[in-house]
């Protein structure tokens, strides 16, 4: 039986959040309003599941009362049959509710900063990094999310040595976080005359995009350099000092941005990336348990782990965090941005693991 006190507390909090959002002083505070909006959306889904569960229990109680009174044999027979159907449904409804009651990572609702870097494989790795960027762009487009390039370094023959971009939309980080790790590709490069299959790799890092209220950066902690943007071969992209390099002195983190012609816009983008990197460092420091969970079977953040292989000759993508039939997918669909099935399988495996831990602790 699910704890009824916990369900009542969730419904009480949902009502409180709704009231808070209607207050004038909060309506004029964008950061507070955004945080409450995210909580409201998350709680609405849970409350809906609670109401379905309570409605089912109420119907079952009414049928049992009708059977107990037994005034009409025919009605009693029908009540027994209906009660049997509801008793069969109950475990599924309870399971759905338990999943929604699992503590949710508060970062999941945030936008995401995605960093793709070419790894082993030279030019072919850069081309693969470009493939991954197109994959994620198409996936984001299918979700109605917005993609904004923050910084990029093109490869010599195409693709990217490195590209950093933001993904803005509901639950962007909670969805994209499963992509963190090493992605490996096996295919015949266009420059390979003998038809030999090469193996290359790219790393993907997905960070929750931090808001100014999450990370306070002191101006004295920053060293900001400006210089002229340049493209491949060192040719000048523009004639003004618009490119920006920001060094965070306490940590040594360095972020550059030169994609915009405006120095102000480049600085703003670089600060967004820096803020998110600092935020992730702070989360990791405060929550060692979260880092440990990321190294589990459905790890979402261990960038040293090979998480997926893209085998072009066999038109197969294999996600190494999954098992059995759930681990293999059609490459031509995945490379075109169809990631929903893989992410759904990873979430299912993660939730099963968390439910099993909760059961062991109960």
Say if CB 243 and CB 231 are below 8 A apart: no
CATH 3.65.10.10 fits domain 112-211+295-358: no
Q: Is residue 134 over pLDDT 70? A: yes
The residue-averaged pLDDT of 270-281 equals 89
Token pair for 278 = 């600092």
Say if CB 107 and CB 210 are below 8 A apart: no
Query: In whole angstroms, what is the distance from residue 110 CA to residue 100 CA?
Result: 18
146 three-class SS = strand
**Residues contacting 103, CB < 8 A, separation 6+:** none
How much is the pLDDT for 102?
Answer: 78
Query: In whole angstroms, what is the distance from residue 362 CA to residue 360 CA?
Result: 6
How much is the pLDDT for 106?
Answer: 77
The residue-averaged pLDDT of 246-260 equals 91
Confidence band of 241 (pLDDT split at 50, 70, 90) = confident
List where CATH 3.30.70.1660 sits in the chain: 112-211+295-358
For 308-332, what is each residue's pLDDT tens digit? 999 999 999 999 999 888 899 999 9
How much is the pLDDT for 170?
Answer: 87
pTM above 0.95, yes or no: no
Q: Pick from 241, 258, 257, 248: which is nearest to 219 by CA?
A: 248
How much is the pLDDT for 290?
Answer: 43
Q: Is residue 197 over pLDDT 70? A: yes
Residue with tokens 């009231």: 19
How much is the pLDDT for 127?
Answer: 94
> How far is Cα of residue 190 from the mean position of the Cα atoms in its chain?
33
- Phi, psi for 300 (deg, rounded to 5): -110, -5
Q: Is residue 301 over pLDDT 60? A: no
Q: Pick from 313, 315, 326: which is nearest to 352 by CA?
A: 326
What is the percentage of the chain residues whose pLDDT exceeds 70?
A: 88
Q: What is the CATH number of domain 4-101?
A: 1.20.58
How much is the pLDDT for 173?
Answer: 94
Higher-confidence residue of 2 and 63: namely 63
How much is the pLDDT for 55?
Answer: 94
Q: What is the b/e burial string over 151-171, where b = at least 16 CB atoms within 10 angstroms of the residue's CB?
A: bbbebeeebbbbbbbbbebeb
Q: For the CA atoms of 56, 58, 63, 69, what is the dihedral angle to 10 degrees?
A: 170
**219-285 CATH choice from 3.30.160.20, 3.40.50.300, 3.40.50.2020, 3.40.50.720:** 3.30.160.20
> How far is Cα of residue 187 from the mean position of the Cα atoms in its chain?
28
- Strand-by-strand arrangement of the 222-227 sheet: 222-227, 243-248, 253-257
* Helix, strand, coil percentages in the chain from 3-state DSSP, rounded to 5: 50, 20, 30
Find the DSSP H helices in the chain: 4-21, 24-27, 30-69, 73-101, 123-143, 172-176, 263-286, 288-294, 331-334, 340-361
Q: Which segment, 141-150, 256-265, 302-311, is predicted with the most confidence on average? A: 141-150
Picking from 232-236, 261-265, 297-301, 327-331, which range would have the lowest pLDDT averaged per residue?
297-301
Q: Is residue 178 over pLDDT 90? A: yes
* Average per-residue pLDDT for the chain: 85
- Phi, psi for 2 (deg, rounded to 5): -80, 140
304 three-class SS = coil
How much is the pLDDT for 195?
Answer: 78
Query: In whole angstroms, what is the distance from residue 158 CA to residue 113 CA?
Result: 22
Higher-confidence residue of 353 and 270: namely 270
Instruction: Give CA angle at 1 (107, 38), nearest 5°.
Output: 20
List where CATH 3.30.160.20 sits in the chain: 219-285
Q: Pick from 359, 310, 352, 354: which is nearest to 335 by CA?
A: 310
């Amino acid at each position: 039986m699910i704890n009824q006190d916990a369900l009542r507390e969730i419904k009480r909090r949902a009502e409180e959040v709704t009231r808070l959002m209607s207050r004038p002083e909060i309506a004029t505070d964008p950061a507070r309003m955004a945080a409450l909006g995210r909580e409201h959306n998350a709680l609405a889904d849970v409350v809906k599941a609670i109401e379905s569960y309570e409605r089912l229990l109420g119907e079952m109680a009414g049928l049992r009362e009708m059977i107990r009174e037994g005034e009409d044999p025919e009605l009693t027979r029908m009540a027994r049959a209906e009660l049997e159907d509801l008793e069969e449904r109950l475990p599924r409804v309870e399971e759905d509710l338990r999943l929604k009651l699992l503590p949710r990572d508060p970062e999941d609702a945030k936008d995401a900063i995605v960093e793709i870097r070419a790894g082993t494989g030279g030019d072919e790795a850069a081309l693969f990094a470009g493939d991954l960027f197109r994959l994620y762009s198409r996936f984001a487009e299918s979700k109605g999310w917005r993609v904004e390039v923050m910084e990029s370094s093109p490869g010599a023959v195409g693709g990217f040595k490195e590209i950093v971009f933001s993904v803005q939309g509901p639950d962007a980080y909670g969805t994209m976080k499963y992509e963190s790790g090493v992605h490996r590709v096996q295919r015949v490069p266009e420059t390979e005359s003998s038809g030999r299959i090469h193996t290359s790799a790219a790393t993907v890092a997905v960070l929750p995009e931090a808001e100014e209220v999450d990370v306070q950066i002191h101006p004295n902690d920053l060293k900001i350099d400006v210089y002229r943007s340049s493209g491949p071969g060192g040719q000048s992209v523009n004639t003004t000092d618009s490119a920006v390099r920001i060094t965070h002195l306490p940590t040594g983190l360095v972020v550059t941005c030169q994609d915009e012609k405006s120095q102000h816009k480049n600085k703003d983008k670089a600060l967004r990336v820096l803020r998110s990197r600092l935020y992730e460092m702070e989360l990791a420091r405060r929550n060692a348990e979260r880092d440990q969970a990321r190294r589990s079977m459905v790890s979402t953040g261990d960038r040293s782990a090979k998480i997926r292989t893209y085998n072009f000759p066999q038109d197969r993508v294999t996600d190494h965090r999954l098992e059995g039939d759930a681990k293999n997918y059609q490459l031509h669909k995945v490379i075109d941005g169809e990631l929903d099935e893989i992410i759904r399988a990873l979430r299912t495996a993660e939730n099963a693991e968390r439910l099993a831990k909760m059961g062991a602790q109960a």
